[in-house]
Amino acid sequence: MKRALVFVIAIAMAGAAACSRKDDSAAAKPASSTAQTTPAAPPAPTTEAPPPAPLPPATLTDTNLVAADVGGEVEELSGFYGPGYAGRRLIDGLAEPTWRAPADWWPGGMYNEDYWTKYPQDILLSFYERKPALVGGVTLVLPSAPTVAVENDPSTAPRDVEVWTAMENAPDRFTRVAIATIDPKGGEQTIEFPATEARLVKLRLLSGATRRVVEIAEVRVLESTREGYEPLFTREPGVEHWKGSPREAAQRGLDWLQQAANDWASPTQPCFGCHVHAQALMGQSVALENNYRVSLPAMRALSDLMRGRLTPEGTIAPQHETEATAFGAMGFAEAAEANATTSDPALFKTVDYLLTVQQKDGAIPQGNEEPPILQGQFMLTGNALVAFEWAASHSKDPKYRQGANRAVGWIAANDPVTTQDMVFKIVSLNRYGNAEQKRAAWPIVEALASQQQEDGGWKEVTSLDGSNAFATGQVLYAFKRAGVSISSPMFQRGVEYLLKNQVIDPVEANGMWKAVHTQSQRKSDFAPTMWAVIGLAGSYGTEPKGALQVVREGDKIAAHNLEIILDVSGSMNAKLGETTRWQTALTTLKEVVAALPDDLNVGLRVYGHRYSSKSAETCQDTELVVPIAPIDRQKIVDAASALKPRGETPLIRSVLRTVDDLKAAGGGSVILITDGEESCKGNAKSAAAQIKKSGVQVALNIVGFTLTGKAVESELAGLAGSTGGHYYSAQDGAQLSRAVKLAALTRLPYDVLDSSGKVLASGQSSELSRELPPGNYRLRIEALGQRLEEPVTVAADETTTLMLSVDGDRFVLRKPAS
């Protein structure tokens, strides 16, 4: 069965233009019918300029540019924000469920004109990433019979329709290219028009077969081709990866969110939704920045709803005024930034109020708590900071800059507790902090990375049963702000968690993330959906990026756990210059512990301190005197200072005990400081096998203090190397201090410089790679008096890795073996 050709008059053409294409096979397509068309009046002739050279003839193809699976999007529907809940049905490739307008039409509504379709109905469509294409036809797929009970009306098809095209979404930029009358029968009907290049196609329904309701099963926009034209999907090979991609998931979540947030936050809603009004605005702003299809009417509506709640004092009523105002001010600021607004009296009013309640230390006080929506001062202060910074950038009044500086100072100086605290500290410092504050936020990034669950997600707090989209979206957004590359395996596992848990069924909830494993007593799907959208949309833009990874050899994320083993055997009483080996080791321990980063969990194990070498128990004498816990420098130093060297050297026994010490913590690094070889019959090769068999990640570094025997040094080096660690030799106090620091510095800061020497980014050595635009850079590392520099090239969609290792008593940079 052949599809009939449809002749349509384009507004820009003088006279009728016929476009032909190849017939489809009967098996491929259902029957179609011919739309009746009415010519539009041609424009008046002009003699001001010669007519342009005629274009090569165009041929219409069957390529559907707006299918959801290849990146098509319903950008706006009359009466809705974006595609609403059901707009995707127009392009989902499924005959049912159909799209209908109005979407809430119900059988009883047939008797009440208030529920009937209001015309015109506009359907605005765009192609993959809003790229331009040559279009020449629109196909409507109509249901064979009404899918709703319509009294005395055999058809719910549209009747009079128009097709408009544009290169940009502005009312005065659209050109009508076709008008047609649709046959009120089921099946496919195609409206053809002279090929025109466009980014957007608007289908305008002027009337329907019945006044009550209109239905469409599918809309297709067909691509044309002509000599010299490269088809869209040939130009954009990435389209084949769209379905199931993070960008596709973020767009679907955004589509649901824009409609749902405005529905909830209606003028009749008595409550202000911190995570509905303001956080949704943030999500849309983040998405707009990364070239997603965002409904600007949805953003304006949410902003207007917040303005309607603004009091003369600058608060957002009615409940939890300070908390709501901090959220609202952030929402206003995000919207202003997205729309390039330079003046907003409502925003300034909320900021002025927040300055009156800001504490002297810079924090915004919290009077109410409802986890996770209202939980902690980091979130409130971070939200207020966004508004303070906007005000400081758009006003000469110094009070706004002072308020912003106080807020940043408080965030930098205080310790986060919950996942949300950590997220807002990372985001705030990386967005508004100085270079040192940004660098200081990196250990928190690593701490969050270590909290990733087996399913790839994160928890709101560690006591909950499982991961959720709320915490996972927050963490991914924080990582992106910190510069973590989306190619990092840890990052990708988090994204996979979100993709697996999004609602994908063709129902009203399509695109949302459900509230699960949450502290909330009033579960809402808004919060997890908003943060999942922010995490994905904030991370996946359209510009290709590369990644730079600087790792310390043998380094793992679990290296934030460190256990020090200190030799307290009798030989440590030996003289070393004007002091003893023991006193030198204690002095070194104090220096090293003082230099360790604040985010480390550190424990201290000692051996040889309780029994003399003549005691039968001396070879069992090993003790964890300070368990693995957040670093307590004074406790470690005090515990070591109270000891006196006495017994033998159960070195291997002590090393094996660290496996159990670190198991509960998830593994980590060990630094053993010893002045002698094993004296209790322990076997280094057997120990190496036992550590490997345990499955616990233990990187053992051994510092041989005053050891001179080549055989024992070789044995200890082999044991350390079997775990990915190193052996260091030290003959005096200065060498001991350097050797222990070489072993303890698991994270080394680095700078990335451009060709002029300007610092573009900073980071720390880690398994986490840092995102960078493709280009040539220079990497600089300064540590323990050394400066290392290395040229690096970052390519799109690739990770460039440099390995930091130790050669003798020096750090070296090298490229890993391929």
Query: For the segment 642-677, what is each residue's pLDDT rounded down to a tens digit?
Result: 999 999 999 999 999 999 999 988 888 999 999 989
More confident residue, 719 or 270: 719
Let me know whether 317 and 206 are in one domain.
no
For residue 19, tell me if it sits in a domain. Answer: no
On whether both 195 and 178 belong to a single domain, the answer is yes
Average pLDDT score over residue span 707-732: 91
pLDDT of residue 46: 46
Distance of alpha carbon 227 from alpha carbon 419, whole angstroms: 57
For residue 549, being part of any structural domain is answered with no
- 171: its two tokens: 């009312």
State the total domains in the chain.
4
Q: Which pLDDT does position 1 carry in this prediction?
A: 35
Helix 651-663, helix 684-694: angle, nearest 10: 10
Supply the DSSP symbol for 621: -
Q: Which of 126-130, 739-743, 745-749, 769-773 has the lowest mean pLDDT?
A: 745-749
Residue for token pair 């994905």: 536
Mean pLDDT of 320-343: 92
User: And the tokens for 741?
Assistant: 């620091």
The rounded distance, in Å, linking the Cα atoms of 361 and 406 is: 6
Whether 8 shows a pLDDT value over 90: the answer reads no
pLDDT band at 596 (very low <50, low <70, confident <90, very high): confident
- pLDDT at position 806 over 90: no
pLDDT greater than 60 at residue 566: yes
649 and 694 in a common domain: yes
Q: 494 and 527 share a domain?
A: yes
Structural domain ending residue among the three candidates 542, 568, 598: 542
Is residue 320 very low, low, confident or very high in pLDDT (cuts 50, 70, 90)? low
The amino acid occupying position 359 is: Q
Shared domain for 70 and 124, answered yes or no, is: yes
- State residue 393's pLDDT score: 96
pLDDT value for 27:
32
Whether 250 maps to a domain, the answer reads yes
Nearest of 77, 98, 96 to residue 156 by alpha carbon? 98
Q: Is residue 26 part of a domain?
A: no
Tell whether the model's pLDDT for residue 58 goes beyond 70. yes
Rounded CA gap, 795 and 813, in Å? 20
| Strands of 561-567's sheet in order across | 622-630, 601-607, 561-567, 668-674, 698-705, 727-730
Average pLDDT of the residues of the chain: 90
Output the CA–CA distances (angstroms, integers) from residue 223 to 23, 142, 238, 495, in the order listed.
15, 20, 18, 33
CB 524 within 8 A of CB 468: no
- 255 backbone dihedrals φ, ψ, rounded to 5°: -60, -45
- Three-class SS state of 790: strand
Task: Determine, yes or no, domain membership for 706.
Answer: yes
The yes-or-no verdict on residue 107 having pLDDT over 70 is yes
Which of 56-60, 336-340, 582-586, 790-794 is least confident?
336-340
The pLDDT of residue 600 is 84
Name the range with the highest mean pLDDT among 162-176, 261-275, 587-601, 758-772: 162-176
User: 7 pLDDT exceeds 80?
Assistant: no
Mean pLDDT across the stretch 110-139?
Answer: 95
CATH code (residue 350): 1.50.10.20
Is residue 584 within a helix (H) or strand (E), and if so which, with residue range? helix 581-595
In which residue are the tokens 């303890």 written?
744
d(CA 139, CA 721) in angstroms, rounded, equals 67
CA distances (Å), 310 to each of 12, 46, 351, 442, 469, in order?
Answer: 49, 55, 12, 38, 31
Rounded alpha-carbon distances, angstroms, from residue 361 to 352, 392, 402, 434: 17, 19, 12, 18
339 and 365 fall within a common domain: yes
Same domain for 373 and 497, yes or no, is: yes
Q: Is residue 14 part of a domain?
A: no
Distance CA 734, CA 14 (A): 91
Residue 555 has pLDDT above 60, yes or no: no
Give mean pLDDT, residues 446-465. 92
Q: Kindly state whether residues 191 and 300 are assigned to the same domain.
A: no
CATH number at residue 718: 3.40.50.410
Three-state DSSP string of 300-337: HHHHHHHHCCECCCCCECCCCHHHHHHHHHHHHHHHHH
Task: Indicate whether 25 pLDDT > 80.
Answer: no
For residue 111, give the CATH number of its domain.
Answer: 2.60.120.260
- Tell me what the mean pLDDT of segment 36-55 comes to: 59
How much is the average pLDDT of 417-421?
94
Please say if the pLDDT value at position 505 is more than 80: yes
Q: What is the pLDDT of residue 665?
A: 83
* 383 close to 431: Cβ distance less than 8 angstroms: no
Among 744, 771, 799, the domain boundary falls at: 744
Tell me: pLDDT of 254 over 80. Answer: yes
- When pLDDT is averaged across residues 538-554 and rounded to a whole number, the result is 89
Mean pLDDT of 614-637: 95
With CA atoms as reference, report the closest residue to 635 among 583, 590, 572, 702.
Answer: 590
Q: Is 717 found in the same domain as 642?
A: yes
270 plus 409 within the same structural domain: yes
Give residue 622's domain range.
Answer: 557-744
Task: Give the distance from CA 639 to its chain's centroid.
Answer: 43
pLDDT of residue 169: 94
Please report, for residues 30, 210, 430, 471, the alpha-carbon distance to residue 158 in angstroms, rounded to integers and kept in the order given.
19, 8, 52, 45
For residues 533 and 568, state if they share a domain. Answer: no
Q: Which two tokens stand for residue 791?
A: 């040229």
SS3 content of the chain, % helix, strand, coil (to 5): 35, 25, 40
Collapsed DSSP state (helix, strand, coil) of residue 550 = strand
Distance CA 812, CA 395 (A): 49
DSSP element (H, E) containing 197: strand 187-198
Instruction: Examine the domain organization and report whether 611 and 664 are in the same domain.
Output: yes
For residues 81 and 541, give the distance between their C-alpha atoms in angstroms, rounded to a whole number: 23
DSSP states of 353-404: HHHHH--TTSPPP----BTTTB--HHHHHHHHHHHHHHHHHS---HHHHHHH
Q: Where are the beta strands (DSSP E) in 716-774?
A: 727-730, 749-753, 759-764, 770-772
pLDDT of residue 428: 98
This prediction's pTM? 0.84
Amino acid 554: pLDDT: 61
Q: What percent of the chain has pLDDT over 90?
A: 72
22 occurs within a structural domain? no
Chain segment 198-228, per-residue pLDDT in tens? 999 999 999 999 999 999 999 999 999 999 9
**72 domain-assigned:** yes
pLDDT of residue 559: 55
Q: Which of 728, 744, 760 is the last residue of a domain?
A: 744
